[in-house]
Amino acid sequence: MKKVLSLLMFVFFVNISAQEVIDKIIAVVGDEIILNSELEFQVGMYAAQRKLDSTSPELKKELLNKLIEDKLMYEQSLLDSIEVSDDDVNRQLEQVISYYTQQYGSQERLEEAYGMSVEKIKREMKEDTRKNLMAEMLKNQKFAKIDVTRREVNQFYATYKDSLGLVAEKFEIAHIFINPKSTDKLKKKARDFAQSLRDSIANGADFDELAKKNSDDIGSAKAGGDLGFVKRGVFYPEFESAAFGLKEGELSQVIESPV
């Protein structure tokens, strides 16, 4: 059953020191390999974007599966002679870097988080960006016109439900994300502000509008705080304890998480 949950939260950024590790191959897809460093980079970027716990095994598994899917699509795009221009790649890179800069607040904070300059981040991402664009182009060519009706979905489920196994429970969640500075005085100010937003919503104010105007999570703010459908095991415990304990339509108290 779909559950629409609303949360108010404020968080504190913490400095994470990167430890040197020996790289290793974690998957082979056709002629392509997936390195542990590639997965870790994707996990870090995705976690920063969605305010998730980057150490979550569930998140790593989900993104590894996506990397494998992307590699398969890329292999097929080569067979179909699909090409993308350098201009397309560079334009996509600029959009990605711009988005992550907004998420971190500045280029300096982005560079600090990943231990490399923005230009190096672009170089690290360039080849994967090209491959992803080729895979997306293939998807658009092959699958854009496929239209599956609700009746067909229901018929498929009725036929194969005994062999599909259990599907992970997912919830639709929205939040207003307040990012305070590190001093105790500013933390209290941020909490008081978050509490005032919660009080306004509890008294009938529109959650979507307040999220658009006040949330520091730029990505979800545009969608009224909507994080989409999420499952357990990818957020910080403080977040999950509040989120998954709510009933449909309920509003959480103000919560604090590490990131």
| Pair 31, 139 in one domain | yes
| Pair 108, 63 in one domain | yes
Residues 27 and 73: beta-carbon distance below 8 Å: no
| Pair 135, 179 in one domain | no
pLDDT of residue 86: 92
Residues in the chain: 259
> 62-101: per-residue pLDDT in tens?
899 888 888 888 888 888 888 899 999 999 999 888 877 8
Residue 199: give its domain's CATH number. 3.10.50.40
The crossing angle, in degrees rounded to 10, of helices 57-79 and 118-143 is: 60
> 161-196: per-residue pLDDT in tens?
666 655 556 677 888 888 776 567 778 888 889 899
Domain count, the chain: 2
pTM greater than 0.75 (yes/no): no
The token duo for 34 is 């997936």
| Region for 106 from its dihedrals, namely left if φ exceeds 0, alpha if ψ lies in -120 to 50, beta otherwise | beta
- Average confidence (pLDDT) over 117-140: 88
Residues above pLDDT 90, as percent of the chain: 10
Judge whether 67 lies within some domain: yes
| Pair 193, 116 in one domain | no
Task: Tell the burial category of 13 from Cβ atoms under 10 Å away from its Cβ (0-12, 13-18, 19+).
Answer: middle
> 192-230: per-residue pLDDT in tens?
898 999 999 999 999 999 989 988 887 788 888 888 777
Judge whether 156 lies within some domain: no
H or E segment to which residue 7 belongs? strand 4-11
- Does the pLDDT of residue 2 top 60, yes or no? no
The token duo for 30 is 């056709």
Backbone phi, psi, residue 163, to 5°:
-105, 0
Residues 172 and 4: beta-carbon distance below 8 Å: yes
The domain containing residue 106 runs over which residues? 15-143
The token duo for 141 is 């060519």
Highest mean pLDDT among 15-29, 109-123, 196-210, 230-244: 196-210
Judge whether 122 lies within some domain: yes
Q: How many other C-beta atoms are found inside a 10 Å radius of the C-beta of residue 203? A: 7
Judge whether 46 lies within some domain: yes
Highest mean pLDDT among 3-7, 13-17, 195-199: 195-199
> 20-57: per-residue pLDDT in tens?
445 788 888 877 888 888 888 888 878 877 778 888 88
| Pair 218, 113 in one domain | no
d(CA 259, CA 82): 40
Among candidate residues 93, 127, 143, the one where a domain is terminated: 143
pLDDT of residue 139: 81
Task: Tell the burial category of 82 from Cβ atoms under 10 Å away from its Cβ (0-12, 13-18, 19+).
Answer: middle
Among candidate residues 124, 143, 162, the one where a domain is terminated: 143
